[in-house]
Each structure stands twice: as structure tokens, then as C-alpha cells.
Amino acid sequence: MTTVKNYLSLVKFSHTIFAMPFAMIGYFAAVLKTGHGFNWSTFLLVIACMVFARSAAMAFNRWLDARFDALNPRTAIREIPAGIISKDSAIWFVIGCCVLFVGCTYFINPLCFYLSPVALFVVLFYSYTKRFTALCHLVLGVGLSLAPIGAYLAVTGSFALLPVLFSLSVVFWVSGFDVIYALQDEAFDKSQRLHSMPAYFGTRKALRISEWLHVSSVLCVLAAGVYGHFNFLYDIGLAIFAGLLVFQHRLVKPNDLSRVNLAFMTTNGIASVVFAVFVVTDMFLFKSPMHL
């Protein structure tokens, strides 16, 4: 049991809450707006894909960055630098999650299976980006943004604009809050020649970039609502989502980073879950099949 807890901590399993709600939006958009029926097998496979892909990405990041984590006082207590989990064990865990992810896509449909290596490349490649570009936050956003598109493809086997709009909102949303999270390591990143928005632009400008990324996210959500012919429950969810993003930026100031974790974990977790509940409920109560 302790070993399981250690691996759950290694991959920060609780952070699955960021992307999972948008995967559910993509799944139910496919089911309720295109006339496809609900299928428990596909639904559970989508959840499994989310868990395995994200676990692989997170464990790989911890494995690759173990040297930096050991040098950073904030991250030295993580499982690998602290000696709780060995690097060899971590990389085998990554491989296992990748195999399980690909295996799950095989049982969904051929398109998901053929695209599974592409998805894995995107989510694993993010871990390298901090070594050469301050745009690493956007790459992380792209990785998590695959959730609504992937879930939609699992049901329909085809691409559409609606899940793409939701995915774009995830790109900007995740990138924005990852910039805020990276504020904690601005000095360390500079000392190690690692790249991030705070390290490149400084705290004040990085926060302004984060604000514009979140504005872009809200605009994408608004566009998805209009294009998808959603109703008033969607609008309520959008208002709460936008309000929590505003609240997040009020928590963090250039001269006060003490509430970064509250802004990062709590506020964003609530925002994604509440928004998804309103969106999915809207689709259930106001069924309006569309050709998307």
C-alpha cells in the first residue's frame, strides 16, 4: 500500500483533475451532439487512457529532471531525489504506463490506436522543453489539450471543430496557470540556465502573460459555446470558470507569491470540475444534435 501511495505521489495523481473534466466534455459532446450512443466500455477506456498517459508524462518528467529536483530546495523532497523511488523503477513505470495507454487505444478504434504514439510523443516531449525554450508552458498546455480531442475521437472516430475549440481553451488555461506555478522557481531556473516565462521575462511580465493566456482561454470557451449551440447552464459554467481565473490572479502578486499553490491547485481544480459539470448537464438537459 505504501508503494502505491509513493507512485501516486510521484505522478501527482490528484492533478489529473485538471484535464479529466475536459476529457468528459469531449466525450459527452461526441455522445450527445452527434447522435452516438453511450458505451460503458469506451467511456472507461477513455478514463484509463487519460490516467495512463498523464502518469507516463509526469513520471517521465520526474525521471528526467531528477538532477535538477535534487538541487532545488522546493523539489528535493520529491520521491526520486529523496530516494523513495529509484530512477530505474520510475522509468519502468513510465514504460508500463505507455504500453497500457497504447493497449487501451487499440480497444477503442483504429484511429486512436494509430495516433497513440503521436500523443505519447507530445506529452513526453514537454519534459525536454524547459532546457531550450520559455514556451515550455505552451507545450504543457498542448499535451493536456489532447484530452477533449482524444475523448471525442474515441466515440466518433473523426475530427470536429467543437472539441478543437475546447482543446484550445485548455492550451491557454494550462499554460497560464503553469506560468504562475513557475514563479516559485524563477531564481533557480536562472541559476541552472533553465527556461521559463518568469526566468525570461521576470515576475511582473510573466504574470501579465498569464493573464492574457487566461483571457484567450475564456474567449475559446465562449466560441465553443456559441458554435456548439449551448444553453444557459453553459453560460453559468463559463461565468464561474472565468470568475475563478480572475480570482486566481488576485491571489498572486509580483511581491507576494505565498498563495501560488492555492491559485495553482485549488482554484484551477474547482474551475475545471465546476465548468465540466455545468457543460455536461447542459448537454443532457438541452439535447441539440448537430453536424459538427
Query: According to the model, what pLDDT value does residue 124 have?
Result: 96
Query: According to the model, what pLDDT value does residue 291 have?
Result: 46
Half-sphere exposure of 127 (CA within 13 A, CB side): 19
Q: Please write the tens of the pLDDT for every residue from 6-23.
A: 888 887 776 777 789 999
Query: According to the model, what pLDDT value does residue 267 have?
Result: 87
- With beta carbons less than 8 A apart as the criterion, state whether 92 and 98 touch: no
Q: Please write the tens of the pLDDT for every residue from 154-178.
A: 999 999 999 999 999 999 999 999 9
pLDDT level of residue 289 (50, 70, 90 thresholds): low
d(CA 59, CA 113): 22
Q: Which CATH architecture has domain 2-9+17-285?
A: Orthogonal Bundle (1.10)
Q: Which residue, chain included where needed, has cell 521559463?
A: 196
pLDDT level of residue 288 (50, 70, 90 thresholds): low
Residue 228 CB contacts under 8 Å (≥ 6 apart), including other chains = 29, 33, 162, 165, 234, 290, 292
Q: What is the rounded average pLDDT of the residues 68-97? A: 94
How do the domains of the chain map onto residue ranges? 2-9+17-285
Across 81-114, b (16+ Cβ under 10 Å) vs e yields: beebbeeebbeebbeebbebbbebbeebbeebee
Q: What is the rounded average pLDDT of the residues 107-131? A: 96
With a threshold of 0.85, does the pTM exceed it?
yes
